[in-house]
Structure 1
Amino acid sequence: MINNKKVSVLIWFLLSILWLSACQSEETQTSPPEKEKFEKKEMVAEGLTSDIFVENIGWLSDSEILTVQNEDSNTSFYIYNLYDGSKMKIYEIPSSYVSASISPDKEKILIHSAPESYSAQVTIIGRDGEVLFQEDVPSYELTHSWNKFDANTLLMTSFSEDWSFQVFQIDVEKGIMEPLDVEQPFVQWQSDSSVLFQDWNTEEVSVSAPLVSQNILDGGKDTLVDSSVHFNQFKDSLLSISSREEEGPFTYQFITSSGEIQTEFTVDLLSRYSDWLIPYYDMIDGKGHMITFKANEPGSFDTYTGTFSLVKWDTVSGKETVLFEDLPLEPIQCTPNGEICLYGNQLEKVIDLTTTNIIQLLKEEGADM
C-alpha cells in the first residue's frame, strides 16, 4: 500500500523543481549573462592609412573622431568611428590646410586654410559638412578660442607680420564677425559677456602677468589673479597656474565662477629658456577630471632625459590618481566620458584609461591588412 504522506512529499518536491526550472528559464530570457552585459567594445587598430594621414583633430563623440587626410590635391575631412572602422567624408578643401578645431558642443568644426600668402580663410562647418560661416582674413598668423558657454560664438585674433593684432568676435548663427576692443591678443571667454586675458607689461620681460576679466559690453575690468603663468577657462571652472617663488613650485588652482578656489595641486615644472613648460593636459568637463602630465624629475626641458607620468586630478575632491608612470610627453585629448584619450603628436594613438592599453590607429604603408 502506498503511503499517502510520502506521495504528498514527492509531489511537492517535483512541483518545486518545476517551479525553480521555470524561474531560471525566465531569468535566462530576461537577464543577459554578466559577460555579455558588461562586455566592452573593441577598437579597430591600424584603421587609418599612414601615407595619406595628416592628423586627428579630436572627438566628435565617445566613439567618433575627426580625421584629416590628403587625397590627390585636396585635404579631406572624415568622421571616423573607432569601433567599427567606418569613415564618412564630410568636407574637402584645396591643399592649403593649416589647422582645425571642434566646438565644445561637438557640432561644429573650424577649418583654417591659407589659399594665399598673408591671408587666411576661416570656414566653420557642421557635422554634415554644411558651411555655416566663411570669411577671408588678412593674416600672418591666426589664433582662436571657442566660447565654452555658447558654441555659436568664438574669439579670433589675426596677427600682422609685425605682430600687431586685431581680435574679432564671430557669431556663427548670425554669420557676422566684428572687431573686439581688447588690449591683449590671447583672449578667452569667461562668460557670455566677459573675456579673460593676461595683462602683460610691454616694458619688461616676465613669465607671469595679472589675469584680468573684461566686460565686453561696458569695458569694465577686474583682476582675478595677481600673477598667472598660464590660464584656461573651462565650462565649470577656471584654471590658473602661478608660483610664489620665481623658481617654483607651481600651483594649479581651479577657481569657481564665484571666485573661490575649489582645489589646487602643486607641481614642479621644467624650465625653458625664457619661461616654464606647461605639460599637455585635457579637462573632462562635467566630471571635473583633469588629465595631465607631470615630469618625474626636476630640471630643464631642453636637456631633460627623464620620463613623465600621466595623472588624473579630481578638481572637486582634490584626489590625484597616477594612470601611467612612464610616457613620452605628447598632446592628449580625451572623450567626453573620460574613458579613452587620443594621444601623440598627430593624435594618432589611443590610450585606454580603463585598461592602460595604448592602441596605434595608423597602418604603416605597405603593411599587411
Structure 2
Amino acid sequence: MNHLINNKYPFFVLLLIFLTLLLTACADKQQPKQKTNVKKETQKETTPYEEADWKLPISIPEGEFFMLGGWLSDTEVLYITNLEQTSSVYRYNLLSGKSKLIYKSEYPIVTVKISPSKKNILIHSSPSSYEGVVTIIDKNGSEQMKQSFASYELDFEWNLFNESQILVTKFDEDWKFQLSLLDTSKLKTVELSLPQPFIKWIDEKNVAYLNWDENTPSLFAPLIIRSIETGKEKTVLPEVIQFSTFPDLLMTVSVKKDDSTVAVYTFFDKELKESFTFSIPQLTKFSDWLVPFYDYSKNRGQFITFEPLSSGEVDSYTEGFKLVSYNIKRKKSELIMEHLDNEPILFSPSGNALLYGNRFEKIIDLKTKEIYELIKE
C-alpha cells in the first residue's frame, strides 16, 4: 500500500509542473493583446492634433491680407486678400500651412459669412457704392446662387435651423431698409414686411428682434418673437439692451433694475425657460450701452465674453478687459485671460480655440491660454 502511495507523488508533481507551464504560456500569449488595448485607449484620449502644430503666420500667395472670414473646421480657416480692385477667397490649412484659392471676385469683397454647417459661404461684393452682389458658393468654390441688390449697405442672417434660407437687409443711403428672404434651394428672393432691420432666427419659422421706437428714443426695447409665415407675434421680455440666438438657447442682455451700473446676462432654453444668469460691470456710451464682444460654443455648452473690471463711461475707461468663459449647464465660470482689448471673438467648431481681433487676425488657444498671430505685419 505504501509503495502505491509513494508512486503517486511523482505523478502529481508532474501534473503541477505541466499546469504551471500551460498557464504561463497562456499568460505570455495574452500580454501583447493587453498592450495593444492600452495603446488604443491612449490614442482615443489624445486629440488628433495639437494647436502647437499650427503653421503660422499665413504666407499670403497674392495681394494684401484683408480679413479672416471664419472657421471651416478646427484645422481650416477662410481668409480674404485684395489686389487692386479684385478680391480673392482662400482656404488655409493650419496644419499643412497651405492656402487654396476657392473664389476670385472682380469686385472688392465687403465681407463673407460661413453657413452654420460650414458647407457653404456667402460672399458680399460691391461693384459700386449703391450695389451689392451676394454670391453663395460651397467650400470648394462651386457657385450655388448669385443675386444683386440695389443698396448702400447689406446685412445678413443665416437660418440656423434651415441654412437654405438667409435673411438679407438692404439699406438705402438714408438708412431706410427692406428685408428679403433669400432661398438657395428654390433660387429665389422674396421681400418681407418686418418692422426692424436686425432680425435673428429663433427657430426654423420664427424670428426675434428688438422693437425700437424711432419716435421715442430709449435705452431699452421689448424683445419680440414673430412668425415669418403668419406675422403673429408676442413679447418675450419688456426691456432688453441686446440679444443673440443660438441653436439651443436664447441670450439677452439687460440692466439690473435697482443698479444701472450692472449688466445682466440671461439664458433661456428652447421653451424660453430661464436656465442661467450672471452679471458684470456696465459701461455706458453717449446714447446707449457697451455690450462687450462674446460668442457661444454649443459643442462645449460654453458662453465666452469680455468683461470690464469696473463700471463707468467707455471714453474714460482704461482698465482693459478680462476674457471669461461660462459653462451654462454647470453654472460655473473660468477666467481665461486678462488685460485684453475688447475685440470680436469666434469659437472654433470644437470650442478649443477662438479667432480674435477686428479682422480675426489672431487665434487664442483656450487650452494653453496663448495668443498667436495669423498674419505677419
Query: Which is further off, 142-151 or 284-293?
Result: 284-293
Q: CA deviation at 1:279?
A: 0.8
Q: Which amino acid aligns with 1:99?
A: T
Match status 1:100 vs 2:112: yes
Secondary structure of 2:284 counterpart: coil
Are the aligned partners of 2:299 and 2:351 in contact in 1 as well (CA < 8 Å)? no
1:24 to 2:31 alignment: yes
Contact 2:85–2:108 (CA under 8 A) maintained in structure 1: no
Number of the residue aligned with 2:286 = 273
1:91 to 97, 100, 103: 103
Structure-2 residue corresponding to 1:56: 68
Of residues 318, 326, 342 in structure 2, which corresponds to 1:329? Answer: 342
- What whole-Å deviation, never above 9, does each CA across 1:136-190 have from its counterpart, x for those lacking one? 1111111111111111101111111111110111111111111100111111122
TM-score relative to the length of structure 2: 0.88
- The residue number in structure 2 matching 1:367 is none
Go from structure 1 to structure 2 and tell me whether the alpha carbon gap of 1:245 and 1:107 turns closer, same or farther (over 3 Å shift). Answer: farther
Tell me the equivalent position of 1:47.
58
Q: Greater relative contact order (Cα 8 A, min sep 6): structure 1 or 2?
A: 1
1:180-208 CA distance string (max 9 Å, x none): 00111111122222221111111222121
Task: Tell me, yes or no, if the aligned pair for 1:281 and 1:290 is still in contact at 8 Å.
Answer: yes
Aligned partner (choices 227, 239, 249) of residue 237 of structure 1: 249
Residue-by-residue CA offset, 1:243-297 (whole Å, 9 max, x unaligned): 2257231211112232211111111121111111111111112432111111122
SS of 1:297's equivalent in the other structure is coil
2:306 alignment partner in structure 1:
293
AA matched with 1:262: S
Does 1:168 find its partner at 2:168? no
Q: Report how many residues are paired.
A: 362
Match of 1:340 in 2: 353
Larger mean CA deviation between 67-76 and 56-65 belongs to: 67-76
List alignment gaps of at least 5 residues for structure 1: 365-369
Residue identity opposite 1:45 in structure 2: L
Shift of residue 12 of structure 1?
7.2
- 1:121 alignment partner, one of 124, 127, 133: 133
Change (3 A) 1:33 1:232: closer
Conserved in 2, the CA contact under 8 Å of 1:280 and 1:329?
Answer: yes
Is the aligned partner of 1:187 residue 2:194? no
1:124-135 mapped onto 2 (5 Å cutoff): 124-135=136-147
Given the superposition, is the C-alpha separation of residues 110 and 256 from structure 1 closer, same or farther in structure 2, using an over 3 Å criterion? same
Q: Separation in 1 of the partners of 2:203 and 2:33?
A: 54
Q: Distance in 1 between the 2:301 and 2:74 partners?
A: 17
Counterpart residue number, 2:297: 284
TM-score if structure 1 supplies the norm length?
0.90
Work out whether residues 309 and 323 of structure 1, in 8 Å CA contact, stay in contact via their aligned partners in 2.
yes
CA RMSD of aligned residues (A): 2.4
**Distance between the aligned counterparts of 2:248 and 2:95, measured in 1?**
30
**Aligned residue type for 1:280:** F
Partner of residue 357 from structure 1, selected from 344, 367, 370 = 370
1:104-162: CA deviations, max 9, x gaps? 11111111111022111111111121111211111111111111111110111111111
From the CA coordinates, give the structure whose radius of gyration is larger: 2
Q: Aligned equivalents of 1:28 and 1:13: distance in 2?
A: 23
Q: State the identity %.
A: 33
Alignment-derived partner of residue 305 in structure 1: 318
Counterpart for residue 217 of structure 1: 229
| Maintained 8 Å contact 1:297/1:307 | no
Q: Secondary structure at the match of 1:129?
A: coil
Q: Give secondary structure in 2 for the equivalent of 1:32.
A: helix
Distance 1:258 1:320 in 2: 24
Cα distance in 2, alignment partners of residues 294 and 66 from structure 1: 28
The residue type equivalent to 1:32 in the other structure is K
AA paired with 1:47? I
Give SS of 2:310's match: coil
Once the two structures are TM-superposed, the CA of residue 34 in structure 1 deviates from its matched residue by: 7.8
SS in 2 for 1:362: coil
Are 1:146 and 1:153, in contact at CA under 8 Å, matched by a contact in 2?
Answer: yes
Q: Which residue of 2 aligns with 1:254?
A: 267
Q: Aligned equivalents of 1:120 and 1:238: distance in 2?
A: 31
How far the C-alpha of 1:325 sits from its partner, in A, is 2.5
Contact 1:339 1:352 in 2 (8 A): yes
